[in-house]
Amino acid sequence: MTKEIEEKLSRIRKLMEEERLDAVLLTLTPNFFWVTGGKSGFVDKGTMDAAVKILVDKENAYVICNSSEQFRVMEEELVDGSFELISYLWHEDELERLKPYLQGKRAGSDSGIYGTINIADKIQKLRYTLTAEEEKRMREIGLECAQILEESVKQIVPGETELEVAGNVTGKLMAKGYQVPVCLVASDDRMYKYRHPIPTEKMIEKYAMVAICGQKYGLTISMSRIISFEPLTQELQNRYDALLKIDATYILNTKAGVLSREILEKAHAVYEAEGYEKDFHLHHQGGALGYLTRDYCTNERSTECVCDHQGYSWNPTIAGVKLEDTYIINGDKQEIVSETGSWRYRDVTLNGKTVRRPDIWVKEKTGGK
């Protein structure tokens, strides 16, 4: 059993003690990825339910597989013997198979299945503090996602459709083992009109933005990049200058132990000071992430504090511009993992602290399709 899995089982068992539970059943895909150290237990991307479950009691940890999943999971995923197999035929009743392990016990779960106590919110919080192994994976996939997205954005040419761009980006990510739950593409006037621009058949003319959530090992990288095929208008430059200040306010104030809503309030004040207060209300501003694209979106009612070694991604927007990256919080520092160093950047300084942020990539037209 790896050190990482030992740590996660220890967190579960500590929660069991606090909740006076005899066992915990994990049924959701994000929790399977988490507890197994990035192994895959899903088949259907259209549901949060894992195809394989994990059962943890005070002494043992089990993987629950039917005959459709058993061989792949045990031969390709859980090969180190960390989890003892509970198997059954696909047409048999899973609950009947689990009765010897659950009957007469006080059990919790992340879904409330089979009469268990639903403690999904408490289990989710166990994921917030990343292990050293998870941070290493976040750095790996952050760089890889950034390389793929930035290369793809630089390759956009006027005349391509938003859907073609989305297909190019997602295809490259999937070829490297990623799931892509979010890929937004907007061009020209759609950048001003929509905050969540699902790609369409519209042809790109002067200006485009691509935003993705890429997932590998279950972990999420969120980021966006913008390209323009002509010099920026002064209005657009002013909007992006303001956005950089808002974005830097978010990043530099995201520190372990700080209430997330206090960070939101500081950035909201910058929206107002820069003359874009109404834009604050038209799009959520992001928050924590890890095994979900958003563990939570921060709002003025949020009670969550930033955790040390937590993944975060704010995504401020002003009509026409958007900026998003993924970072790991380490005390009062923020390590941006979704950058390559090969984009065009600008240094933004607030209260004596500087953060390097991506600029709009301006590229002269060289002809379309």
274 and 161 within one domain: yes
- The sign one gets for the Cα dihedral 129, 131, 132, 134 is negative
Same domain, 271 and 184: yes
What mean pLDDT comes out for the span 270-281? 98
Read off the CATH number of the domain in which 180 is found. 3.90.230.10
Q: Which residues of 224-254 are buried (b: 16+ CB within 10 A; e: fewer)?
A: bbbbbbeebeeebebbbebbbbbbbbbbbbb
Asked if residue 48 belongs to a domain, the reply is: yes
One domain for residues 91 and 163: no
Position 368 pLDDT exceeds 50: no
pLDDT digits (tens, 9 = 90+) for 11-26: 999 999 999 999 999 9
Collapse the DSSP code of 326 into the 3-class scheme (helix H, G, I; strand E, B; otherwise coil) and give the result.
Answer: coil
Query: How confident is the model at residue 275, as a pLDDT?
Result: 98
Dihedral, 328, 333, 338, 344 alpha carbons, nearest 10:
170
Q: Which two tokens stand for residue 289?
A: 């992430």
Of 93, 110, 126, the residue at which a domain comes to its end is 126
pLDDT of the residue at 365: 60
- Let me know if residue 367 belongs to a domain: no
pLDDT digits (tens, 9 = 90+) for 43-63: 877 788 899 999 999 999 999
- The last residue of one of the domains, among 108, 126, 144, is 126
Average pLDDT, the chain: 96
How do residues 78-120 score in pLDDT, each as one tens digit? 999 999 999 999 999 999 999 999 999 999 999 999 999 999 9
Q: Are residues 167 and 299 in the same domain?
A: yes
226 in the same domain as 201? yes
**82 and 205, same domain (yes or no):** no
